[in-house]
Structure 1
Amino acid sequence: MTTAAIIIASLALTTSCATATATSSGTTGYRVKRIVAGTALHTVNGLALAPDGSLLAASLASETVSTIDPATGKAGALVAQPHGRSDDLVVTPSGEILWTDPLAGAVKKRDRDGRIRTVAQNLPGVNSIAFDRSRKRLFVGQTFFADGLWEIDPKGIAAPRLVARDLGWLNAFAFGPDGMIYGPLGKRGEVVRIDPHTGATSTVATGFRQPVSVRFDSHDRLYTLDGATGQLIRVDLATGAKETVAVLPAAADNMVIDRRDHAYVSNMADSSVVRVDLTTGAGRALTKSPLAFPQDIASEGNTLYIADSTALRRVDPRTGKVNEIARRLSSELQFPSGISATKRHLVLTSELIGTVQVVDRTTGEPVRAVDGLDKPADAVELGDGSLVVSEPATGRLLHIVGTTPRPLAENLGAPTGLVLTRDGDLLVTDTTGGRLLKIDPKSGAVTEIARGLGTPRAVAVAPDGALVVLDTAAGQVLSVNAHDGQHRVLAAGLAVGHLRQPYARSGGLAIGPDGTMYVTADRKNSVYAIRRTGR
């Protein structure tokens, strides 16, 4: 049997400084240039087709439900942050949208009049969602935080009904022509058949690395997407035989198939949607971005490092070229939202799952990890190898030796960005209090350096010792006088601060060895370079 395989070469992570445009600065003496240009669509997860033929896209990291025109790839936000936090979604024939929020353990619904409400809750890790073929009965699956399959009431009246437990992390599933559920089990690397009445399970196909989505085409042929390998595979229902139809980049997350047997495949690490002809295997990217959702940035030597939500990337600041170190599913990388750099390591925080990963700066291979933290925003590695982590949700800094955390400083408002000074002190931004604080890493003593800084998400120290803060609410970079707390605007009008609830959670700042300031413009998946005029 012939296998039609494609590699979407157009998704290579390259960009050009020629496309960058300068942003007006807030004061004379500095110029702003965009060195990496991206899109406004972030980390695409689940996909659904609306009655009008448009695509709907879920995003867990950016907490947004978006619309995508399948003809042009043009995208727009439909449900904004924080209500749009979503991993998978379905659309009713009348145009109502239901989506899963794994972190809240809830299923939410947007009525046709735009009203948003919760129709099911207390389902931790609720992830996949699908109607049966009558479009009347609705089912959801749990992964990571729990493991189960439930039937829920789309109107939110009846209590959820448990169908089965401990399946093996059921991801995006679909109903077959026999009325059975066909779904991928990420924990077992299998596609299974599940009776929606009894929960009885049987194996259809095995040997997948990380199956994430199962769908049927118009001829009721079964397709499985393997997120770790990027393979889109046709599976024979009777024998379990597999035929690769297309090969896409890893971190493919979900898919939907239209009436013409075109599969639309999402990729969270590339912020892309690719349309694949299931007959020929030919594919075309509708939308893509060299950066998926750059939440933070670090500088070491002459390289920039990006915590890109579902990938870890490096950027050459001279050319704007983006290269990848690691991505979700094909590596052990978690969901990086904060980043700092040392000579040997990158320290990554994941607000989404409450971890800190220390990885090799060159290979991205994990060195160690700390779990069980409460929405960590940033972390730095001290000279002795211990870590200091900011937890804005708890208002404290933690000092971690090995894997054991202890409070270093508390009652700090909402501490987010961290940096070490040349003297070994810690600087941290209080994003809700508009303050810049200095913390003694040994005693935890707190000194206020400045206030009135707006919504400071990140802080950096220039080679000459100058202090710089990123105010994400106002979209500006501020210099701060460490002696008297006075500050002035260096650049304004920056596309930063996509995640603002309940505090500033995205947008990063770093300073290179020549004093150039770099900002992750997270709202546009871009990177700015801010330099003195004439440099």
Structure 2
Amino acid sequence: MLTHRRVTTAGLIASLALTTACATGNRATADRPAGYRVERLVDGTALHTINGLALTPDGDFLTTGLASETLSRFDRETGTTSGLVGPREGRSDDLVVGPSGEIFWTDPLAGAVKGRAPDGRIRTVARDLPGVNSIAFDRSRRHLYVGQTFFADALWEIDPQGAAGPRLVARDLGSLNAFAFGPDGMIYGPLGKRGQVARIDPRTGAASTVATGFRQPVSVRFDSRDRLHALDGATGQLIRIDPATGAKNTVSTLPAAADNMVIGPRDHAYVSNMADSSITDVDLDSGAAKTLTSSPLAFPQDIDFDGNTLFVADSTALRTVNPATGEVGEIARRLSSELEFPSGISVTTRHIVLTSELIGTIQVIDRTTGHPVREVHGLTTPSDAVELPDGSLVVSEPSNGRILHVVGDKPRPLAENLGAPTGLALTRQGRMLATDTTGGRLLEIDLATGGVTEIAGGLGAPRAVAVRPDGSVVVLDAAGGRAISVDARGEQHVLADGLATGHLTVPYARSGGIAIGPDGTVYVAADRDNALDKIQKTDR
């Protein structure tokens, strides 16, 4: 969720509506009200939700981020990060470096395989492969293969030049994830749906089981001595396998949500973890592990506040933050739980409501158990969701320009033609505040009639809205990096600018959140830095 919903004052919407005419014409002024300061509460790194991992010839790492839609280069000597391909072109789950130095990656949502030449030119190599995920060259480095794991289940050979169409190798393998070629020319890969590692003939597609008993195998690799290793993302175990017998030996155990690995020339495995935005160096002989980079927050797309604790939709984890100390806690993470890819969050006394733009779902989480008690599927890139007192949900669908009311699992349009509504905030009067991020507007939605009133305009790209204890509204202009106050008279003031928000801004602002504490402190998800900031009023 993009707002604190419960700290409101009676008559807020009525008083704002009375000033609609003057507020709509206002623009947020650059003169910041005296006595506000911005402080960092939680700091992070520049790498977001690392999924795929590859080594460059000079020993640097290339990383992908499916949720953050970015390909990056990480210099392990200096610890610096540089972006190679940004959103949305860089959306990817896995990547590989070709013999010419071209980087190839998979975009599961677009169903495309793309390439980036050393001079920076980007091209599409293959299309119409929904859910394409894993990718690898054979040992000759001439033949390129990809696996579908999300919306389809198949293995294909594709032409790296993009001239010939894909060749189907096999279907219904069991969700083939990051695979590698063995010394026998066979593909060895993890089958997520079956909890197995399999051997697959790349010519015929014939498959046989190598090892079983995995919870969520995600990556298979060979070291320089052709020893076979598999990574279980649910348990974090890095396991050596005897291909002849299927016997397994755990080399090292890492945090859950480990998503991929690459093995270097000295037989060190480098393991990515999407929930920690980390890369860990594991000596395959001793099992000793060393973290090369990590972040307390992986990619905080949204936040909410329950009066005591900040809750963070951290893209691949559900986390908490102590507003006084900045201490980060965790409720759930990908692979080891039922958590999907949370990008929006709202909190009630009983539930945490998570939206997933990536998956198109809503998960209602029981705050006591941490498990989902309800799920809604089949939505189109939902941005935010609020649970009403009767248990129904209000959901924003910015790509469709509408707000939905969901009773049970049946959505119906509540208000349409709204531009790109993202953030939602429920008031005690039973009305809804919504931000239109492409129109720069703050809207009021009547939940009974669906009637829409424009409260304010000229707000930049407002991704989020929150209500302060004094009745004023704070809007987060995510693309502009501004927190803007709108009072009951419609006057607008910039409380803070230069905020590290808005990593995802295409086709509209899709990341960065805001919440309000009971003392009026404004909290901001500084998603570009994987950080949280707080904006406080000073005595000056």
Q: What is the TM-score with the length of structure 1 in the denominator?
A: 0.94
1:281 alignment partner, one of 280, 284, 287: 287
* CA distance 1:122–1:71, change in 2 (3 Å): same
2:529 alignment partner, one of 524, 527, 530: 524
Q: CA deviation at 1:486?
A: 2.9
Q: CA deviation at 1:51?
A: 1.7
AA aligned opposite 1:242: K
Q: CA deviation at 1:361?
A: 2.3
Q: Distance in 2 between matches of 1:511 and 1:362?
A: 23
Q: CA deviation at 1:52?
A: 1.8
C-alpha contact 1:102 1:126 (8 A) present in aligned 2: yes
AA aligned opposite 1:500: T
Q: CA deviation at 1:534?
A: 2.9
Q: Counterparts in 2 of 1:197-346, with a 5 A limit?
A: 197-346=203-352
The aligned residue for residue 53 of structure 1 is 59
1:514 and 2:510 are equivalent in the alignment: no
CA deviations on 1:205-230 (whole Å, 9 max, x unpaired) are 00000000000000000000000000
The aligned residue for residue 177 of structure 2 is 171
2:460 alignment partner, one of 454, 458, 463: 454
CA deviations on 1:438-486 (whole Å, 9 max, x unpaired) are 0011111000000000010000111222111000121010011344x33
1:99 and 2:114 are equivalent in the alignment: no
AA aligned opposite 1:518: Y
Q: Counterparts in 2 of 1:412-427, with a 5 A limit?
A: 412-427=418-433
AA aligned opposite 2:501: V
1:38 and 2:38 are equivalent in the alignment: no
The root-mean-square deviation of aligned C-alpha atoms, in Å, is: 1.2
The aligned residue for residue 479 of structure 2 is 473
C-alpha contact 1:51 1:93 (8 A) present in aligned 2: no
Q: Which structure carries more relative contact order (alpha carbon 8 Å, separation 6+)?
A: 2
Q: Counterparts in 2 of 1:63-212, with a 5 A limit?
A: 63-212=69-218
The aligned residue for residue 498 of structure 1 is 503
1:358 and 2:361 are equivalent in the alignment: no
* CA distance 1:246–1:72, change in 2 (3 Å): farther
* Greater Cα shift, 357-366 or 112-121: 357-366
Q: CA deviation at 1:111?
A: 1.1
C-alpha contact 1:25 1:32 (8 A) present in aligned 2: no
The aligned residue for residue 3 of structure 1 is none
Q: Distance in 1 between matches of 2:465 and 2:368?
A: 24
Q: CA deviation at 1:362?
A: 3.9
The aligned residue for residue 486 of structure 1 is 491
* CA distance 1:303–1:25, change in 2 (3 Å): farther
SS in 2 for 1:259: coil
Q: Distance in 1 between matches of 2:497 and 2:523?
A: 13
Q: Distance in 2 between matches of 1:301 and 1:532?
A: 18
* CA distance 1:25–1:526, change in 2 (3 Å): farther
C-alpha contact 1:163 1:198 (8 A) present in aligned 2: yes
Percent identity between matched residues is: 74
C-alpha contact 1:44 1:268 (8 A) present in aligned 2: yes
Q: CA deviation at 1:267?
A: 0.2
Q: CA deviation at 1:423?
A: 1.3
SS in 2 for 1:523: helix
Q: CA deviation at 1:25?
A: 9.8
Q: Distance in 2 between matches of 1:339 and 1:34?
A: 21
2:435 alignment partner, one of 429, 435, 455: 429
Q: Counterparts in 2 of 1:399-410, with a 5 A limit?
A: 399-410=405-416
Tell me how many residue pairs correspond in the alignment.
Answer: 511
C-alpha contact 2:102 2:116 (8 A) present in aligned 1: yes
C-alpha contact 1:449 1:482 (8 A) present in aligned 2: no
SS in 1 for 2:511: coil
CA deviations on 1:259-314 (whole Å, 9 max, x unpaired) are 11010000000000001110111111110000000000000021000000000000
AA aligned opposite 2:106: T
1:376 alignment partner, one of 370, 373, 382: 382
Q: Distance in 2 between matches of 1:255 and 1:71?
A: 19
* CA distance 1:25–1:274, change in 2 (3 Å): farther
AA aligned opposite 1:208: F
Q: Distance in 1 between matches of 2:46 and 2:247?
A: 40
Q: Distance in 2 between matches of 1:272 and 1:505?
A: 23
C-alpha contact 2:108 2:150 (8 A) present in aligned 1: no
C-alpha contact 2:471 2:487 (8 A) present in aligned 1: no
Instruction: Please list every run of at least 4 consecutive aligned residues from structure 1 whose deviation after the TM superposition is greater than 3 angstroms.
Output: 24-27
SS in 2 for 1:163: strand
Q: What is the TM-score with the length of structure 2 in the denominator?
A: 0.93
